[in-house]
Amino acid sequence: MGAGAFGLPTLEQLHRRHEVPLVVTQPERPAGRRRHLAAPPIGQWAADQGLPLIKPDNCNDARVIETIRGVEPTAIVVIAFGQYIKKALANLPLLGSVNLHASLLPKYRGAGPIHWAILNGETETGNTVIRIAPKMDAGAMLGRQPTRIEPTETAGELHDRLAAMGPELMLDVLEQLAAGTAEEIEQDEAQATVAPKLGRADGRIDFSDDADTVRCRINGLSPWPGVSVRWAGVEQDTDATLKLCRAAPAAGNGAPGQLLGGGVIACGRGAVQLLEVQSPGKRAMRWADYERGRTIPPEARLVG
């Protein structure tokens, strides 16, 4: 049961190593500028492989549950599905239902764990496999898979890396469940934090913040929803706006948003170095390529 691309590597490995008698995904939704109906990544992949596939609006509907019961599942694997799963469905398989979540639970429960781990300056995150529970991402833990967050790693890169790590953890947990050796550890509610879904309105930045906050915000919101800024003190043309795609720690001091040279931007305390940026209508590029051929006056600064 899944929709987003995060679950694709695990579904591919499940299909390779086990029998997948049914894939449950979300219905097609409008996507892109023209708002054409598009299948979610899991649904498209399953269709391409010829796997049995259903796309219910409500997975807890009695007819849906009967369809799932009819394939006699040993286990249900849930990854980035986007629908609430009730107890009757979660408890249907012999081994129950398990979920792969992209954080080291109980931290960062919710829809945006990867973004918020970077935004909050975490140096470590990972995956956790849990039981499906009535409360969001609060089920007993069956396995954890920690990994370091690099200082210049973006949310998009971390998403893909955690997704690629997921199959090993999930297959290991399923093997333990089948053997009866799985250990279930209850989450510590006192340590729980929430990672709400982000939107376009969150793509803002304030260079008067300290450098670590600015760096984490740029990387944590890249590539989506993205941080867009504009130049103050330069001629207002199509290059006056700029999307910031990747930043690194840097040394320097100056007025917040001031360009100190070599892509180094002053913050309220300290500075960051812009490694990759994107002009309107163009692809992301290295700062050196962006700066080449442009004359940026000394008084210019970036503002959110």
> First and final CA of the chain: distance in angstroms?
39
For 5-191, CATH gives 3.40.50.170
Q: What is the number of alpha carbons within 13 Å of residue 142 lying toward its C-beta?
A: 28
Provide the pLDDT for residue 238. 46
Q: How confident is the prediction for the chain on average, in pLDDT?
A: 95
Q: For the range 88-94, what are the long-range contacts, defined as Cβ-Cβ under 8 Å and sequence gap of 24 or more? A: 88/60, 89/59, 89/60, 89/64, 89/65, 90/131, 90/132, 92/65, 92/68
Token look-up 């956790």 returns: 128
Instruction: Give the sign of the dihedral formed by CA 41, CA 80, CA 22, CA 128.
Output: positive
Q: Is the pLDDT of residue 55 over 70?
A: yes
- Among the ranges given (96-100, 219-223, 258-262), the one the predictor scored with the smallest mean pLDDT: 258-262
Q: Which H/E stretch holds residue 49?
A: helix 41-49
Q: Is the pLDDT of residue 132 over 70?
A: yes
Q: Is the pLDDT of residue 204 over 70?
A: yes
CATH classification (class only), 200-303: alpha beta
- Among the ranges given (3-12, 34-43, 174-183), the one the predictor scored with the smallest mean pLDDT: 34-43
Closest residue by Cα to residue 130 from 122, 139, 121? 139
Q: Which H/E stretch holds residue 115?
A: helix 113-119
User: CA gyration radius for the chain?
Assistant: 22
Mean pLDDT value of segment 65-92? 97
Q: Is the pLDDT of residue 236 over 70?
A: no
- Among the ranges given (145-159, 178-192, 279-293), the one the predictor scored with the smallest mean pLDDT: 279-293
One DSSP character per residue, 153-218 reads --HHHHHHHHHHHHHHHHHHHHHHHHHT----B---GGG--B-PPP-GGG----TTSBHHHHHHHH
Quick one: how far is CA 123 from the chain centroid?
A: 16
Provide the pLDDT for residue 234. 66
Q: Is the pLDDT of residue 240 over 90?
A: no
Tokens coding 155: 């949310």
pLDDT digits (tens, 9 = 90+) for 248-290: 999 999 999 999 989 999 999 999 999 999 999 899 999 999 9
Percent of the chain's residues with pLDDT above 70: 98
Provide the pLDDT for residue 235. 63
What are the structural domain ranges in the chain?
A: 5-191, 200-303
- CA dist 275 and 157 (Å) reads 15
